[in-house]
Amino acid sequence: MRKAKPKKRVILPDPVFNDVRVSKFVNHLMYDGKKNTSYTIFYSALDLVKNKLPNEEKTALEIWKKALENVTPQVEVKSRRVGGATFQVPTEIRPDRKESISMKNLILYARKRGGKTMAEKLAAEIVDAFNDQGGAYKRKEDMHKMAEANRAFAHFRF
């Protein structure tokens, strides 16, 4: 690589929970620079989560963090060409990429869901992820199965 690596941008914590992960999630959720709209969607989704799980002793933010943790993959497969054949090589994921993948998957499957508003869809996906269900959780399980199936090629790691 000729150039130096670009510096990591500092992301400011969100105004309500004072948490950087919430800001990152909102940035992934945002369309066309509409950050206020994203914050509104996120906070109303957390309110809906609290209403859906009233007997849970955790706060809505803790439920969201647990849901993110449940959809975070540990390994992924990368294509690697060795001697004319392409192998799916299982590799561990860097911590920052893990976080990013889990957030993107949660948002992607929330958008695909049926429902009235994005806040309702996101709340439903968070509740499902918290209970080890839903599209984002299934995606993580599929990634792990694929890595397990291709474990024989782990020695091609790069």
Q: At what angle do helices 95-112 and 118-130 cross, to 10 degrees?
A: 120
Tokens of 118: 């994005």
CATH number of residue 131's parent domain: 1.10.455.10
Binned at pLDDT 50, 70 and 90, residue 158 comes out as low
pTM for this entry: 0.87
Distances (CA, A) of 99 to 20, 53, 103, 116, 130: 12, 24, 6, 27, 16
Domain assignment present for residue 73? The answer is: yes
- Per the prediction, the chain carries an average pLDDT of 90
Q: Does pLDDT of 81 surpass 90?
A: no
Q: Does pLDDT of 114 surpass 90?
A: no
pLDDT at 12: 92
Query: Which residue's entry shows tokens 């948490």?
Result: 19
The separation between CA 89 and the C-alpha centre of its own chain, rounded to angstroms, equals 22
Q: Does pLDDT of 1 surpass 80?
A: no
pLDDT at 115: 81
- Average pLDDT of 103-129? 92
Torsion, CA 80, CA 28, CA 61, CA 74, rounded to 10: 0
pLDDT digits (tens, 9 = 90+) for 4-40: 988 988 999 999 999 999 999 999 999 999 999 999 9
The separation between CA 151 and the C-alpha centre of its own chain, rounded to angstroms, equals 24
Total number of domains in the chain: 1
Domain assignment present for residue 131? The answer is: yes
Q: What range does the domain containing 127 cover?
A: 20-156
- Average pLDDT of 106-122? 91
Domain assignment present for residue 13? The answer is: no
Give the C-alpha separation, 130 to 139, whole Å. 14
Domain assignment present for residue 2? The answer is: no
Q: Does pLDDT of 42 surpass 80?
A: yes
Domain assignment present for residue 5? The answer is: no
3-state SS class at 85? strand
